Amino acid sequence: MSLKKTLTLAGSDTSGGAGIQADLKTFQEHGTYGMTALTSIVAMDPNEGWKHNVFPIEANIVDKQLECAFSVGLDAMKTGMLGSVEIVQLGAKYIDQYSLKNVVIDPVMVCKGEDEVLLPETVDASRELLLPRALVTTPNLFEAWQLSKVGPIKTVADMKKAAEKIHALGAKNVVIKGGKALDHEKAVDLFYDGKEYVLLETEKIDTTYNHGAGCTFAAAITANLAKGEEVFTAVLKAKQFVAAAIRHGWKLNDFVGPVMHGAYNLFKDDVSDINQVTV
């Protein structure tokens, strides 16, 4: 037996809901063999309101991890929190060296619950070096604003402008995650492949237990691509997967509630319908 091999180049979330922990759980749920290249460790301080403390991993250590993972032959990879310009450069180097096509760039810029860009210099590096190598990129509204420089994104029209700009930077397919943050009656994501814009709508889920949703969504796309799905199908299936995970999110402690990564496979009868609207 052989499994498809998936890599996450991202940070560690000590609380287990996001980062490489979310990615590995999601890879496992999709039946792929997950590997990691760790860029940073995030530990939350329970004595300071769950403040996020970020401890970077040195670039030379990340280099050795990437050398190891790429050497076995990858079917797909994703990126998350990258930590430094040097690590962005390393990611681009290995993608080119091994001609990897199934690349999902999740441009993580802040930790959930925080509101400042962790490392502004990595945003420019990611825009220049990673977006042109992305088969899919999955920014949220804030990240799409930072990448596209179109200003705050509050409407579907704003999402379309940002998606067009991000596609022009080289990303072949753009998924802007509006979720329930957008001023819209549904939970909405926008898919753009350079030809048409498609809204992916599901019912809004009234919960704050959504820690790790973005990582989980990107990891699900990655796993689906590794298994041979076409891009749009990979995105649709990932949206169903993460919707189930959010619907069954749970309280970890008084500060955070993660999504339930196994919900899609555990509750087969509870799968969201996705309404597709070309706009």
Write down the pLDDT at residue 263. Answer: 96
pLDDT digits (tens, 9 = 90+) for 63-112: 999 999 999 999 999 999 998 999 999 999 999 999 999 999 999 987 55
Sheet holding 51-56, edge to edge: 51-56, 33-45, 5-13, 76-79, 103-105, 136-137, 174-179, 187-192, 197-202, 275-278
Q: What distances in angstroms separate CA 169 from CA 133, 175, 176, one per listed residue?
A: 10, 14, 15
pLDDT digits (tens, 9 = 90+) for 216-259: 999 999 999 999 999 999 999 999 999 999 999 999 999 999 99
Which residues sit opposite 278 in a β-bridge? 198
Write down the pLDDT at residue 113. Answer: 47
Query: Among candidates 248, 218, 249, 247, which has minimal Cα distance to 235?
Result: 218
The rounded mean pLDDT for the chain is 94
Does the structure show a pLDDT above 80 at 118?
no
Structure tokens at 275: 């309404």
- By the 8 A CB rule, do 181 and 206 touch? no
The mean-pLDDT minimum among 26-35, 105-114, 140-149 falls in 105-114
Residue 224 backbone phi and psi in degrees, to 5: -65, -40
Distance in angstroms (rounded) separating the CA atoms of residues 142 and 214: 12
Write down the pLDDT at residue 195. Answer: 97
Write down the pLDDT at residue 166. Answer: 98
Distance in angstroms (rounded) separating the CA atoms of residues 29 and 13: 19
Matching residue, tokens 């091994």:
98
> What is the DSSP secondary-structure string of 79-112?
E----SHHHHHHHHHHHHHTT---EEE----S-T
Binned at pLDDT 50, 70 and 90, residue 114 comes out as: very low
Reduce the DSSP state of residue 167 to 3 states and report it: helix
Question: What are the residue ranges of helices labelled H in the chain?
Answer: 19-29, 59-71, 85-97, 120-125, 141-148, 156-168, 213-226, 231-247, 263-266
Write down the pLDDT at residue 185. Answer: 85
Q: How much is the pTM?
A: 0.96
Distance in angstroms (rounded) separating the CA atoms of residues 39 and 24: 15
